[in-house]
Amino acid sequence: MSAHRDRGTARPRHRKRNTALAIGVPLALTAAGTLAYGSVYGIGAGAEQASAATAPAWATATADGFASVNSLGQNGTYGGRDGKTVTVKTLADLEKYATASEPYVIVVAATINMNPVGKEIKVQSDKTIVGSGTSGQIVGGGFFLGTGVHNVIIRNLTIRDSYQGIWNDKDHDFDAIQMDGAHHVWIDHNDLRHMADGLIDVRKDSTNITVSWNKLSNNNKTFGIGWTENVVTDITIHHNWLRETEQRNPSTDNAAHAHLYNNFLEDTAGTTITSSYGNYSRGKTKMVLENSYFQGFTNPVIKDSTAAIVQKGNTFVGTSGRNESGGTAFDPKTYYAYTLDKTADVPSLLKSGTGPRSSIGTTATTTAAAATTLTVAKDGSGQYSTVQAAVNAVPANNPSRIVIAVKPGTYRETVKVPANKPHVTIQGTGGSRKDTVIVYNNASGTPKPDGSGTYGTSGSATVAAEADDFQARNLTITNDFDEAANQSLSGHQAVALRTAADKVFLDSLIINGDQDTLLLDTAAADRLGRVYVRNSYVTGNVDFIFGRATAVIDQSVITLKKRWNGTSAGYITAPSTPAARKGLLINRSTVNGDVSNASFFLGRNWHAGGDATLRPQTTVRNSTLSAAIKTTPWSDMGGFSWKNDRFAEYKNTGPGAGSASSDRPQLTDTQAADQEVADWLGDWTPTAS
């Protein structure tokens, strides 16, 4: 470690929420202890698969709402992104891949006619079915998700025209999307219309469903939820445009939690379709209805005597009949984070933002208005040829998400996202995080070209994120500084990725380096800086996860490397945490690497600048530790005893785990209950966008 700026002061403690993060966790990491590093960048077998086609830019997105909540053994909804990407243009191919047992991202690039009419493909778990631009259309049938099917995403498709000429058709149960006992399903940015029965049926205890940014139109029975005596369904319905639909808009029967917000229900006078009712809460449903816009609807909001509806911020224009509320419901924010758009903006926002996008990379986000996408490609096919040029094009103080979509290639450059450019996502568009690489080789002791000194540790970063609400995913970020060839330099600390901001979400990355690989900092000593890293690989040897941020490394792989001279020795973490804040939490992860047994410490206490007021903290819990970890896994640093700071383990496994002793503190169950991911992140729930 080299000298860094002093760290300091505290943040208020947030109330712990009884909720899971709004994120998805790939199947390849649900049993992180089984992963082993392979060739090139050390991805274990199965963690990355070769793609048969280029994945759409948004194929790695994860659901928000109830589909993001950890339950039933499924942590979020991310579809088939851990599988191959295939493009289909025929019914046979669509059915082949949708019904397969392994995960797939299935890109529908043609109009596919169902044969026979009314056919519903029985989709299996771990699938993303996504239209290519507006060309993905399913005509005369749809999809069926049966009991136990889970982790399915259906996006950017038009599903239409199974209508058989009878308006209230009792003989043809032809749905666009039907679920019977499925869970963790995300239906997003589709155009569903003119079907013989329902556009969407969520039946028989299906749960953890999110339906967002869809256009539902020209139908009798639009959207039914329930058909069960059990009260288990959790569903989020937001930013959908329902127009010229008669009933079930939706009808919600015995749902445990139904959260409807920012929807637009429109019944235009003088058409042949007249609404009979809008949002209906039936049985024992608890419904929260927020910031939705009802125009021309008959009976816009109704409820049974046994059901609950809590209304907030809705607008009713030209409506008539029943408009009801009553009972107690629930607070959706105890389950996930979300952002409400202004009710007055909903009609225009949804008219322009719902349904399939003509350009797959410019879809609206699942929180507010359409995100701006800037494309980067070395071959000149994008708007910019370097990542930094795209960052430079982001306007200062941009109010909403800007996605920098980086096409596969190696980009040898440094990238800095300054503090005045929040809400930026840098995302690789390849089928694997290995396909898009940002790399440079500055070290702390590297002289600056202008002769003004050396870079220092923080200045050596290949990628520096100084703006709040920054996200990066599906990338490799590397500092390939060659220590052996640069022994004359005074400082060998070489950062791959530095964060100095709050609400930083790092998802599906490879972060490569040797000493000081990942610097998790804050914007200033008195500023909170929360970072959530998940489904990622971090490599290094000395203090390679370090800093004063409040940071979680979750369901990831930490790989230990030998030093430049072939020796095995090092430290994983070097926190410099202020006394009243949380430090580093390594959770449900794997530590491995081709190094000697008992040669690495889990961490040491960094009192930056000799500041005795700091209380460095690392907790390693529920993780698999290789034999490389020392039996006394914590070390002093800079004359400060680690035993006076905060270092502990909880229920780790593997040959490197050990029992409690004065040299190896273990949390009690009571202590561990206050050292979970939600305690670290407080009122922030990381959500991909």
Token code pair at residue 30: 């649900």
Instruction: Kindly write down the DSSP assignment for every residue of 339-364, as one continuous string.
Output: -PPPGGGHHHHHHHHSS--SSGGGPB
- 664 or 5: which leads in pLDDT: 664
pLDDT at 552 over 80: yes
Position of tokens 């966790």? 25
Q: What is the pLDDT of residues 416-472, one digit of tens each?
A: 999 999 999 999 999 889 999 999 999 999 999 999 999 999 999 999 999 999 999
Contact between 480 and 518 (Cβ < 8 Å): no
Poorest-pLDDT segment among 19-28, 159-168, 197-206, 304-313: 19-28
Confidence (pLDDT) at 539: 98
The C-alpha atoms of residue 193 and residue 221 are separated, in whole angstroms, by 10
Among 6-15, 187-196, 205-214, 372-381, the minimum mean pLDDT is found in 6-15
Helices marked H in 35-118: 91-98
Residues 370 and 362: their CA atoms lie apart, in Å, by: 7
Model pTM? 0.54
Tokens for 604, please give them: 């040491």
Q: How far apart are CA 531 and CA 538, in angstroms?
A: 14
Q: Taking residues 508-535, what's their average pLDDT?
A: 96
pLDDT of residue 59: 58
60 — pLDDT class (breaks 50, 70, 90): low
From the number of C-beta atoms within 10 Å of its C-beta (0-12, 13-18, 19+), residue 541 rates as buried
pLDDT value for 9: 30
Task: Tell me the pLDDT band of 170, cut-offs 50, 70 and 90.
Answer: low
SS3 at position 210: strand
Over residues 662-688, the mean pLDDT reads 94
Closest CA to 509 of 540, 485, 479, 473: 473
The overall average pLDDT reported for the chain is 88
Greater pLDDT, 576 or 361: 576
Going from the C-alpha of 313 to that of each of 285, 294, 341, 471, the distances in angstroms are 20, 12, 10, 31
Q: How far apart are CA 573 and CA 560, in angstroms?
A: 12
Is 543 one of the catalytic residues? yes
- State how far the alpha carbon of 562 is from the alpha carbons of 4, 42, 490, 497, 569, in Å: 25, 14, 20, 20, 7
Q: How far is CA 622 from the centre of its chain?
A: 21
* Active-site residue, from 175, 180, 516, 645: 516
- Please provide the distance, in angstroms rounded to a whole number, between the alpha carbons at the two ends of the chain: 34
Sign of CA dihedral 623, 626, 632, 633: negative
Residues 420-423: contacts with CB under 8 Å, at least 24 apart: 420/396, 420/467, 421/391, 421/394, 421/395, 421/396, 421/397, 421/467, 422/397, 422/398, 422/467, 422/468, 422/469, 422/470, 423/398, 423/399, 423/467, 423/468, 423/469
In the numeric block, which tokens belong to residue 8? 């300091």
Closest listed residue to residue 297, CA positions, set 329, 254, 263:
263
Alpha carbon 658 to its chain centroid, in Å, reads 33
Residue 4 confidence (pLDDT) above 60? no
Please give the average per-residue pLDDT across 531-548, as a whole number.
Answer: 97
Pairing relationship of beta strands 293-295 and 315-317 according to DSSP bridges: parallel
Whether pLDDT at 340 is above 50: yes
User: How many residues in total does the chain contain?
Assistant: 689
Q: Is the pLDDT of residue 369 over 50?
A: no
Q: How far is CA 356 from CA 121, 132, 295, 545, 603, in A?
A: 20, 9, 23, 41, 48
The pLDDT > 90 percentage for the chain reads 77
Write the DSSP string, 377-446: -TTS-SSBSSHHHHHHHSPTT--S-EEEEE-SEEEES-EEE-TT--SEEEEE-SSSTTSEEEEE---TTP
Which residue in 618, 679, 682 sits closest to 650, CA to CA? 618
Does the active-site annotation cover 253? no
For residue 637, what are its two tokens? Answer: 């640093």
Edge-first strand listing for the sheet containing 518-521: 415-417, 463-465, 497-500, 518-521, 542-547, 570-575, 600-604, 634-635
For the record, the structure tokens of 334 come out as 């105890």
113 pLDDT higher than 50? yes
What is the SS3 assignment for 393? Answer: helix
| Residues 580-615 pLDDT 10s | 999 999 999 999 999 999 999 999 999 999 999 999
pLDDT of residue 569: 96
Q: How far is Cα 589 from Cα 175, in angstroms, rounded to an integer? A: 42
| Residues 589 and 555 sit within 8 Å (Cβ to Cβ) | yes
Which of 180, 197, 507, 543 does the annotation list as catalytic? 543
Q: What is the pLDDT of residue 55?
A: 52
Q: Cis omega before residue 395 (within 30°)?
A: no
Q: What angle do CA 510, 499, 42 make, to 5 degrees?
A: 10
Query: 260 or 366: whose pLDDT is higher?
Result: 260
Q: What percent of the chain has pLDDT over 70?
A: 89
Is the four-CA dihedral 588, 594, 598, 602 of positive or negative sign?
A: negative
* d(C-alpha 194, C-alpha 358), whole Å: 21
Tell me: pLDDT of 47 over 60: no
Nearest to 71 by CA among 272, 335, 321: 335
Of the ranges 4-18, 267-281, 352-366, 530-544, the best mean pLDDT one: 530-544
Structure tokens that stand for 415 in this block: 């990238």
CA distance 368 to 159: 24
CB 156 within 8 A of CB 363: yes
Per-residue pLDDT for 32 more than 60? no
Mean pLDDT confidence for 277-287: 96
HSE-up of 36 (CA within 13 Å, CB side)? 3
Which secondary-structure segment (H or E) carries 463? strand 463-465
